Amino acid sequence: MTTDQTSREPAFRVCTNCGRLTPAERPDCAYCGTMSVEALAERQEAEREHRFLYALFMRSNPFVMIIIGVNAGVFLLEWMAGGMGGLSADPEVIRAFGAKDNALINQQHQYWRLVTAIFIHIGFLHFLLNNYALWIIGQEIERLYGSARFVVLYLLTGVVGSLASYTFNPNAQSAGASGAIFGCSASWRPSPFATAKNCRSGWRPT
């Protein structure tokens, strides 16, 4: 019986710095300590991922990303339910997910629909435009007022938008974050609610 002797022999590579043979399994040279090209690439990739995660979770406006994530999750569930198109949605699907419906609010007292409607979108274009606007405007609003005030402002103005639809468009279902986005846009100006830290930073909304 014969055995493959080559499989037992250690593999070597040539160090790009000193030119000597060093074990291939080591990320650095055994003689001069220079990292291999592959090890450097892996380290840089790990550092990029670390910077991305740090920027995502340590940013000054995390709730914009959280709201966009909630919107995306709800939209995905709507799409999986089979009632989503580019510019429209199945009325039964969005009703099941919590769209504003005056009949259900009046007859069954489902007042929670005034809130849940903020996170529901009717069609892909509606979802895309609303969340793009939230990404652009919401970051500045949360940075200016702080996360807690931003969340309260977003929800209150969203509910006001739902109430406006309830009052002036009683015969139609409605959903979307447009009311909240318009409310945030209206507050995008110097305000006594802005913190002193924000003002000292020199940033001013336009």
pLDDT by residue (tens digit) across 62-114? 899 999 999 999 999 999 988 677 888 889 999 999 999 999 999 999 999 99
Q: From residue 114, how far is each of 46, 118, 162 by CA, in Å?
A: 44, 7, 5
Q: What is residue 12's three-state secondary structure?
A: strand
Please state, rounded to an integer, the average pLDDT across all residues of the chain: 82
Confidence of residue 197 (pLDDT cuts 50, 70, 90): very low
More confident residue, 170 or 21: 170
Give pTM, 2 decimals. Answer: 0.64
pLDDT by residue (tens digit) across 2-29? 445 445 666 877 877 787 777 877 878 7
Tell me what percent of the residues of the chain surpass a pLDDT of 70: 82
CA distance 177 to 67: 10
How does DSSP classify residue 203?
-
